[in-house]
Each structure stands twice: as C-alpha cells, then as structure tokens.
Amino acid sequence: MNKYPFDFDPKQSFISQASDWIADVFYEKLPEAGFEIRDEQIYMAFQLERAYADKQTIFAEAGVGTGKTFVYLLYAITYARYTRKPAIIACADESLIEQLVKPEGDIAKLARYLDLTIDARLGKSADQYICLKKLDQARSGQDDAELFDSIYRELPSFVHKQDSMQSFHPYGNRKEYPNLNDEQWNQLGWDVFQDCLVCDVRHRCGQTLSRDHYRKAADVVICSHDFYMEHVWTYEARKREGQLPLLPEHSSVVFDEGHLLETAAQQALTYKLNHAVFEGIVTRLLQEEIRESLAVAVEDAITQSEFLFKMMNKHSRKVQASDRREIIWSTELIREINRLQDTLSVIEEELVFESGLYTIDTYQLKIVEEHLEMIQFALSLFKKEDKPISWVSEDKEGTSLVIMPKWVKEVLKEQVFSRKMPIVFSSATLSVNGSFDYMMDILGMDSAISFSVPSPYDYEQQMTVATPDMGLFPSINEKMAETFRLLTKSGGRSLLLFPSMEQLEQFKTEAAKHAAAASFTFYYEGSSEISYLIEQFQHDEASILCAVTLWEGLDIPGPSLSQVIVWELPFPPNDPLFAARRNDAEQPFEQVDMPYMLLRLRQGIGRLIRRREDSGSIIIFGEKMNESYVREQVEQILPKGVALSH
C-alpha cells in the first residue's frame, strides 16, 4: 500500500499538498469516473483544509447531495497516513455505520475510483455482540430455547473447544442475526451488567476478538458516537486497570451526524445501578476466608441495597411516551441513599485491612473495589447542589437506578475539545436559524470554525410539503384513515417516522385492524436487525418502513422512498433528561423543545430527495402545526422554494 496517493515533498506543508491532491480528485479524477463537479464539495474541501492545518474543531454543515462524506474521508485518510495514526469516523448509530461500509458505500467507491487500498475497520459497540454467558442462560430458558440453541451450535468451533485457535474470523455480530427481533436479541446480546473482566471465555468472545482486529487499522476505524464517548469516559480507568483503551490513539475525529453527539455523551456518562448485580459481586467476598466484621458489613449492605431499590420502585411513576419512571424524591429516600453509602464505606474500610492479610484473591478484590467506587461516586452526585438527572427503569434484571450527571459539557471540553487535533462535525443540520450557537452551547465549546453550504438539488421542482387539514384534535382513527389514503395514493413507497417507539407500536396495532392493511408490506423497526429492514425496504419497492431512529442517515434513492410521513412533530420526549434541560432554561419551549424538534424535522425531511432524479412528498401530522408560531418555524426550515400547504 502506497503511503500517500500523491508525490510527497517533505520540504513543503503536508496539508497543502494533500489539499492540492484532493482538489485534483474533485476537479479531475471523480469527473473522469462519471461524477459531476460540485462547487459545494470543493468549497467544503477548502474549509476542511483550515481545520486540518490548524488542528481545529469545525462545524461542516452541508446539505443533502453535496458529497460531504467523500471530502471528510479523503482528509481523514491522508492525514492518518501522515501521522501514522488512524482516523476515527464516529456515526450516530449502527445503521449509519453499515451505510458507510457496505460494498457499494462511499469507502468502497473511493477505493475503486481512486485505485486506493483503504484499511477501514469497524469498531462496534459491545451491545452489538453476543454474550456467550447470556446465550447459555437463554438456551436454558423457557422462551425460544430451541432458537438460541441453534445459534449456539452455529458458533465457530474454536468457541466450544479449549484448544488454541488456528485462525480467526469475526463472529457474533448483531448483523449476522437479522431475523431476531430486539426482544430476542436482548436475551443474548451483551449489556452493562456483564462482568467481562472475570469471564472465563472472554478471550474467545466475538466482541474481544473484533476489538483486537480493529485496533490494528491503518487508515480508519468506524464506530458509533456512543462507542467513542464510552472510549473517552473509560480511557483513564482502563489504563489504571492495565487494559487497553477501547479505541487506538488516533489522528482526527469526524462526527457524522454530529448534531447527535450530546445525547451519546450523556449516555456514556450514565451510571446504572442494580441490586441483583451488586449482590452478585459483593457476595464473592463471602466465598473467601474473611473476617466476621467484613462478612457482617457485606450482609448489611445487601440488606440496605435491597430495601433502597424496593423504595425506588415504590416511589416512582410511569412517564408517558417514555420507558422511564420518574423518581418522586423525598427526605426518606435521600436518607436511605445515605445509609447505603455508609454501609459501603464500612466495606471499603474493611477491605483495606483485609487486603493486607492476603486472604482474598487479588483479582476478585480489585473487581469489588472498582464496583464499590463506581456506586459511591454515582450516589455522591445526589449530595451536590446541582442534582443529577435520574430515573428508574424496569427490565429482566429487576429495578435499576439510572444516574446521569449534568456536567457533560465539562467532560467534553476537557477530554475531547481540549485535544490538539482536527475534529469535524458533519451534518446537514448543525445550525438553528443560521446560527451554530445552540450546538456550541450544548457541547460546551468556546470556539470553532464553521460553514454552511446548501444542497444542490432543485427542491422547488422535486418536493412538496403538506400538513393534512384535520381539525385541532384529530382522533387516532382519523389519522389512520388519512395515512392509508396517502399510502394508497403513493402505492406504498413510504417512510413513516415516529418520535417514540410507543407511538410506533400504537400505529402497528391500529394498522393491523385496518381493512387496507393486507394490501401493503410493512417493515417495523424492532422486528428485525435495522440494516436488514432497510435492505428489505429498498428492494421491495412498494413497501412501507416504519421507524423511530431513522430520522438521520437513511439513504434510499429512487422510487422505493417517494413519500415521508411524519406521524408527529419530533419534539423531545417527556423524560427526566429533557425535564432537567427545561428546568434550567428561561424559555423551555423556545430554547429546548423547538431547536431539538426543528433539527430532527430537517433531518427527517432530508430522507426524501437523495438524487437529482428523485421526487416526492412530505406529509407532516401534528396538533401543534395548528399553532401559528410552530407552523412559522417549520416553514422557515423548509428548502428554498418549497411552501407548506394543506
């Protein structure tokens, strides 16, 4: 593999030479391969030259069809070869990753048309892999045991044997099991309660083996926003424990669909506490030869933890349109949290003495100490004046307390934006009303360079946008009737976007009752692996795809996607995370709800026109479209020349 795709002169600036070659690519090489010269693409290339030359953060807002992916890939790859450290391309979710690396995706196109060998490897999140321990449990369960047993039997032979592996190939990826629905996958996929450090099959685990593979990438590692932020958050802890960080040292970062990074950052900083997991870890101490005082402390902590989680479950209420339960705080609840902390402190003090006696296995001791430290830190956040965002969730592990610090800005500022390297935020929607202040504020940035280039498409001729005239408060039956009328008119070929899974499930239930339902093929997010659903939708031209997470990144050119129906305006959910943001805002609706909704709606609208030959319609439902302020704001984000009609 040639180090650079151009003749490099070490006496001159590398970035300026790379920029000259990239200009040649867009002016000559790609047009020779059949691509059109796009002024927006070339302008973006010169803007990124500034970011890479000065190692700055840049907001690169480029409309649909500008070819922004080619631009950032070329800079990222050439700079990676110059620094001898790979670039990180962080995408908003797994479906966007698949679109980037698929055989006909942008990386493959660049390699083919520029005669490049590009070493791009996937760094997928842990929850995208089978957990061998959970698979064993699922095989012995009552539901789908035969299905899970067949999955077990089809695993590579080295997983079942104790002899050394002769060769390696990746396995256990969520994408390899497209027909499993989300509920089935959750029974065997990794989750945060798996203690990988003490797992006896971790060295044969698909997640571990794939991690070893992608760390050796020369050019690009592609991962999700969530995974990158988990890397940032666990970097120091993993080094302390003698482990490698999740991602290798890298030369630059590109956040594709960068407007979603804040959500990923908050998820990465989230603590999830669960009584069953806590009990399972600390009872390891009781299996050792320990002093009676430590055994009593462990028993007290287990009792207090069990009592606290029962209280949490009792003192919480369901949040509508959310899978979270809001905690009803009281003096009594805070008192019980403090009592648990006190019992944990006793264990920690006892462990200091016990470690000097060498009666506890050092490795086990370290695991318990790390877990106690995590719980203590998470619970201590409640003692701060600025209380954390918290809620209760219920799953097969029982009741869990989820704690999310509010100081995401500070973490991003210190551990991401303070690094002297190029950081690119790429998206068609990074500004609100022409300003990048909203993004800079939620990410905690002091400064960044930025630019906007519009889409080259003629939206006035290619797109219509309408909101049905259904009165102030249309019933679900009226919305269903209008939706099926629209689907019949378009012959399917539609993407239905929902703000929440709860609304999607409601639509799915009602659609099954409708007389015309049998005339259409519906694909519902959650029923299969997401990239598999997208592929089916694209190939089945008259089908309908119903989704919650595909407001961004979905790229389906041609007649398969000729209509986008927005089931409700995508205002942020009514959950503790956004409740906290609203509480901190002087004008919650204008400062929190509207910017979030407008950015997401712009993304949803962008799913329709993906090529110059595309055309179609956008239909926007929503009671708030009857409010003049909301309607005016929606009209302002529509592409130039496109009017909103009934």
Contact 494, 315 (CB under 8 A): no
**DSSP code of 428?**
S
CA 138/CA 449 separation, integer angstroms: 50
Token pair belonging to 26: 């867009």
Average pLDDT over residues 134-138: 91
Average pLDDT over residues 266-285: 85
Residue 397 pLDDT exceeds 80: no
User: What pLDDT digit, counting tens, does each position of 16-65 carry?
Assistant: 999 999 999 999 999 998 888 888 899 999 999 999 999 999 999 998 88
Q: How far is CA 146 from CA 172, 375, 396, in A?
A: 18, 38, 20
Q: Same CATH topology for 271-405 and 459-637? A: no
The predicted pLDDT at position 162 comes to 64
CA 554/CA 552 separation, integer angstroms: 6
CATH number of the domain at 459-637, please? 3.40.50.300
The predicted pLDDT at position 357 comes to 60
DSSP E strands in 200-310: the ranges are: 220-224, 253-256, 271-274
User: What pLDDT digit, counting tens, does each position of 75-118 carry?
Assistant: 999 999 999 999 999 998 777 787 788 888 889 999 999 999 99
Mean pLDDT, the chain, rounded, equals: 89
CA 559/CA 267 separation, integer angstroms: 37
Token pair belonging to 470: 């259904």
Confidence band, pLDDT 50/70/90 cuts, at residue 1: very low
CA 393/CA 399 separation, integer angstroms: 6
Residue 251 pLDDT exceeds 90: yes
**Which of 163-177, 219-233, 404-418, 503-517 has the weakest average pLDDT?**
163-177
CA 35/CA 48 separation, integer angstroms: 21
Average pLDDT over residues 335-356: 89
User: What pLDDT digit, counting tens, does each position of 527-568 carry?
Assistant: 999 889 999 999 999 999 999 999 988 889 999 999 999 999
User: What pLDDT digit, counting tens, does each position of 606-617 carry?
Assistant: 999 999 999 999
**Which of 217-226, 323-332, 415-424 has the weakest average pLDDT?**
323-332
Token pair belonging to 337: 């949290």
Residue 155 pLDDT exceeds 60: yes
Write down the domain spans for the chain. Answer: 14-123+411-453, 126-216, 271-405, 459-637
Say how many Å lie between the first and final Cα of the chain, rounded: 57
Confidence band, pLDDT 50/70/90 cuts, at residue 168: low
DSSP E strands in 328-420: the ranges are: 389-395, 398-404
Residue 129 pLDDT exceeds 50: yes
The predicted pLDDT at position 317 comes to 85
Residue 297 pLDDT exceeds 60: yes
CA angle centred on 245, ends 241 and 250, rounded to 5°: 150
The predicted pLDDT at position 163 comes to 57
What does DSSP say about strands 271-274 and 398-404: parallel, antiparallel, or unpaired?
antiparallel
Residue 589 pLDDT exceeds 70: yes
Q: Which fold has domain 271-405?
A: de novo design (two linked rop proteins) (1.20.1440)
Residues 6+ apart with CB under 8 A from 581: 572, 588, 592
Q: pTM for the complete prediction?
A: 0.83
